[in-house]
Amino acid sequence: MKGIIFTSFIDFAEQQLGLEFVDEMLDTMPLSTGGAYTNVGTYPAQEMLDMVEYVLQRHDLDPAALQQAFGEHTFKVLTDRHGDLVESFKDSFDCIFHVDQTIHRNVLKLYPDAELPNMHAKLSDEGRRLTMEYRSERPLMHVAFGLINGCIKHFNDRVEVAMTDLSDGAGTHASFVLTREDTGPTSAAEPAA
Ligand code: HEM
């Protein structure tokens, strides 16, 4: 797993749980680099999952909500660093529809050793609904949910997301149904102040 996901998690944990907690976590856990991750390095994905577990053992947090919030934070981190990979998309549907075939394909050009999920998307209901199936060797469906929410916020869209776990709790296979909410007149149509 690429270091950018690790540095994003550490940054997220610092914001949510404090620097002291994170320092203690990095000191206590048997991490490959002693917790000194670089964005472009590659580290065992299990270490990331172990850090999530460490947090959950010490804080009374809902595991799904924690991973979702982390995913949302990570969308910001990814687009801050690689804004060029999303700037051509007009909205969240456009972006999510192209994650697998365009964004992650370009990620693989930048980081040939990236470990990416498979995310097959299709549009229906005259473009009002997007269905995406997530499959991965890593159990990160809740993080995927957060990335999707981060993307919707990034584009200021109004979209409802429903996730169905297809992996019996394993977190490796899920389907997401995204439905555009009726927004009425768009802000672009409103008179300028
Ligand atoms: C809604 C949009 C997106 C979704 C749902 C999504 C989903 C995911 C998921 C779930 C992972 C974790 C790996 C796994 O589950 O197997 C991942 C990894 C990653 N994604 Fe995306 N992604 C999105 C957008 C982006 C964007 C915009 C970028 C870059 C600009 C990006 C770059 C990456 C990178 C660098 C990794 C790490 C690969 C590794 O650990 O080796 N993703 N993505």
The model's pLDDT over 153-172, given as tens digits with 9 standing for 90+, comes to 999 999 999 999 999 999 99
Cα of first residue to Cα of last residue in the chain, in angstroms, is 47
Query: From first to last of its 193 residues, what are the pLDDT tens digits of the chain?
Result: 999 999 999 999 999 999 999 999 999 999 988 889 999 899 999 999 999 999 999 999 999 999 999 999 999 999 999 999 999 999 999 999 999 999 999 999 999 999 999 999 999 999 999 999 999 999 999 999 999 999 999 999 999 999 999 999 999 999 999 999 976 555 444 554 4
Mean residue pLDDT of the chain comes to 94
Angle at 32 between CA 18 and CA 105, to 5 degrees: 90
Same domain flag for 132 and 83: yes
Q: Is 24 helix (H, G, I), strand (E, B) or coil?
A: helix
Same domain flag for 97 and 174: yes
Q: Is residue 135 one of the residues assigned to a domain? A: yes
Phi, psi of 31 (to 5 degrees): -95, 150
Q: Is residue 139 one of the residues assigned to a domain? A: yes
Same domain flag for 90 and 128: yes
Same domain flag for 57 and 74: no
Residue 124 β-bridge partners: 129
Confidence (pLDDT) at 184: 58
Same domain flag for 144 and 114: yes
Number of domains in the chain: 2
Confidence (pLDDT) at 189: 47
Same domain flag for 78 and 140: yes
Closest atom, ligand 1, to C-alpha of 117: 16
Same domain flag for 89 and 148: yes
- The reply to whether ligand 1 has any atom less than 6 angstroms from the CB of 2 is yes
- The reply to whether ligand 1 has any atom less than 6 angstroms from the CB of 107 is yes
Domain extent, residue 47, equals: 3-61
The set of residues, in sequence order, having a beta carbon less than 8 Å from that of 134 and lying 6+ positions away, is 117, 118, 119, 141, 144, 173, 174, 175, 176
Q: Is residue 191 one of the residues assigned to a domain? A: no
Residue 113 β-bridge partners: none
